[in-house]
Amino acid sequence: MDRTLITPTGSSQAALIDQDIAHIARVMRPSLRGDLGGPILPCAYWRKRLYQLLDAGNLSHAQLCAVDSLLLQIDEFDSLATEPAREAMAPQHDLPSATHAGNTSSPASGQI
């Protein structure tokens, strides 16, 4: 018995890509937010999935726009996720406050 490889036609391949994009759009954000342990699936996983769609070729303009939008969402999430880490690593400088400098009164409180 010979097996033949079944390849999707253009319209069915476009439908599969549409379904894949819709699935990623639905589950990517909750997966990145994750839980207390962090993301369920990391940004690198979602980027790989989206790049695989781009590599498949023959995406319509709407599909390209959807994939681009999802990649931008990943970039935004990545930058927000690394911001607290950058702030934690930044050197902490103690700035003198008004109370340390001996100025305890303020014009707003009515005391001059």
| Cβ-based neighbour number of residue 69 at 10 Å | 11
Can you tell me the distance from the alpha carbon of 40 to that of 87, in angstroms, rounded to the nearest whole number?
Answer: 24
Give a yes or no: residue 95 inside a domain. no
How many structural domains is the chain composed of? 1
Task: Report yes or no on 78 lying in a domain.
Answer: yes
Q: What is the pTM of this model?
A: 0.66
Asked whether residue 3 is domain-assigned, the answer is no
Is 92 within a domain?
no
Residue 22 inside a domain? The answer is yes
- Flag whether 21 is in a domain: yes
| 3-class SS shares of the chain: helix, strand, coil, % to 5 | 60, 0, 35
| pLDDT at 36 (0 to 100) | 86
Q: Is the pLDDT of residue 44 over 80?
A: yes
Q: For the chain, give the mean pLDDT.
A: 81
What is the span of the domain harbouring residue 66? Answer: 11-83
Give me the pLDDT at residue 64, please.
97
Distance of CA 68 to the CA centre of its chain: 12
CA 59-65-67 angle, to 5 degrees, is 75
Residue 106 resides in a domain = no
Is residue 53 a part of any domain in this protein? yes
CB 46 within 8 A of CB 74: yes
